[in-house]
Chain A
Amino acid sequence: MVSEDKIRVFLKLQQLALDIEESTKLLEQFLPAVLQDLNLAGSQYIFLAALFIDDSGNIKQTFFTDKSNNQTAGQVTKPENFLQKGSEWEMKVMYGEAAVISDVAYFINPAYPEISKIHSLLMLPIQHAQKLSGVLILARSKTADQISAEEIEFGEMITRLVNLSFRLQDTEGSLTKITQQVYEMNAKLHQLDKLKDDFVSVASHELRTPMTAIRSYVWMALHRSDVPLSQKLEKYLYRTLVSTERLISLVNDMLNVSRIESGHIEINPQSFDIVALVRDIMEEVKVKADEKRLQLLTLEQKLPPVFADSDKVHEILLNLIGNAMKFCYPGGTIAVSFFTDGQMVDISIKDSGAGIMKDDLSKLFHKFSRLDNSYTAVSTSGGTGLGLYISKSLIDLMHGKIWVTSEGVDKGATFSFSLPIASQQVLQHAEQFQVKAKGEVKPLEPATI
């Protein structure tokens, strides 16, 4: 049995092992305290050495401490002799037993000034995960026969602490290293991400200048020509114009997708009148609708305000109404209607246009979801294949839903989305509806219709 005061020493040392903060030098700080406390508790040890081995039995790390504390295990002892294969003491520690050695001279360098005080060595196995991971050596001033079971038992308890400290040092050392590596990698990724963002921004601006020039001159050729255009030439120019507009939209939409996906978009919800917003947008698109002889209808009704980011909802509405206009035949109708269940407001945009095949309905909200079989080919529609994906991403960020119904090809389509009503309950948790941008806040490029 280990006496109570020794248990107190053990607990004190255990706490120390856990408290030492400088993790990479944990054992260097811990072992002198162990030697000191053991001697205070009545033992008379000249030095304490710890040898740690790797899986193949080779010495990995050594520690040494005595009262002068300025030598190393290699200077004072012959470490390899402790682990001499097949030796009596090696066999003992291999099986987890302590060995008491009298032949001090075989292990200790004769130059060690305190050698004359050492009369025996207590060699204790340090085990980790049921395997020998090292030995703890205590240089005793007493002879080998003057050893008690209690001394060995207490020594074995101490090896557990030494092992714990070594593991703490080991894991903390590598954890610190891994953490540092993760930080470095993260910083590098951030840097790359910023470079990419900057590149995308500058490139898209550089792209837009010549594209604007192309579009402007084609427009001039179509509308300000000083010679009458043949029907063919007019068709060619018109197609060039539409394609350039599509290219500009594509650059804008790709910028928007990149901003949404990298989290640079902010959602700042406010209470606002969705019906009034729809009314404004219908006014905005009226000229374009007139050109295509489309009838615009808003089935207004009195509704409570919704809680969303009105700029983003503006973008979504422009997108959905713009789509409806693209896929409507001349003379068709686009109607916006509302519905509420008291919690959400549904906004539905119904067109009398080309319609969608049932099988394609679920594919619509994916990136570049071009549908060969039902939707008008993208080239003539002027779409980018990104608008619905952008709308869905924004609606998701605002706690709403988007869905589509269609009776089939040529039977029109209805796109609906929902937004939360600015109820007392919603306003109380307003912060949950806000989305902060990661890093720099970037706006959405305006949707073109």
Chain B
Amino acid sequence: MKQKDIEQQEKRTGWLLILPALLVLALVFIYPIARAFWLSFFRENLGTQLEPIFSGFYNYNRLLGDGRFWQSLWNTSVFTVISITIELVLGMGIALVLNQSFRGRGFVRTSALIPWALPTAVMGLAWAWIFNGQYGVVNDLLQRLGLMETSITWLGDPTRAMFALIVAEVWKTTPFISILLLAGLQSISVDLYEAHSIDGANPFQSFRQITLPLLMPQIIIALLFRFAQAFGVFDLIQVMTGGGPAGSTETVSIYIYATVRRYLDFGYGAALVVVTFLLLVTAVVIAAFLLSKSRVNLTGGQ
């Protein structure tokens, strides 16, 4: 057989073999997204007796003037950015500590993971009691320390409620970041630090010039995971505040859930999903672009 024929056959075999994977992807990934796009051009709600009526860009037009959507988008962004920034700093610190050798390190490493292993709804309920105004631990501590005269409300005040949510989220997911970073730290050879210190570098310089650059892939991956997760946060907020007070902690996913499942407004819900999806994709594309500029190889290859 000619070389060309063989190559063609190989290609065919290749396609054949990835066909099942492509089919699965199309079924669970492409179809739902395409369907949401399609649905977003229809009005399908209680007013139309749940029959779809084509209405072009009506839903998108309505979305532009929907203050509640923009507020929930803002809330989600604030929640995401602040919590993952804090998590990264704390997670890095914890990872550096856990990377040192000390007695009982295995035990500490395992127990550091516990918050992350707890079901979110359960720990959300616990945090709601911790921030309870009358019986809460936080108020009690602050009063005993003499920082406050009377107890204050936490979940009933817009800013403080967001603060409480971020604290709970950080508590829960910092271990995830620190474990990812710890894995990265362990792959960095000790020789590098030795050579660096012989050259006269202090620990701070070593951290900046060796640890940070070599850890970049893990940092980026951790940030990407956490960004996607935090942007879709639902259970924690549903349990702790339900989006209140005055919608000040309502995130996009809670709004979408309400629109589709409680208001039965499928067309508009689909439009919300599409816009959120596009915004997320844009954010990821920008991140990927910045990454390619900083020449970090995400796949871990050389």
Whether chain B is bound by chain A comes out as no
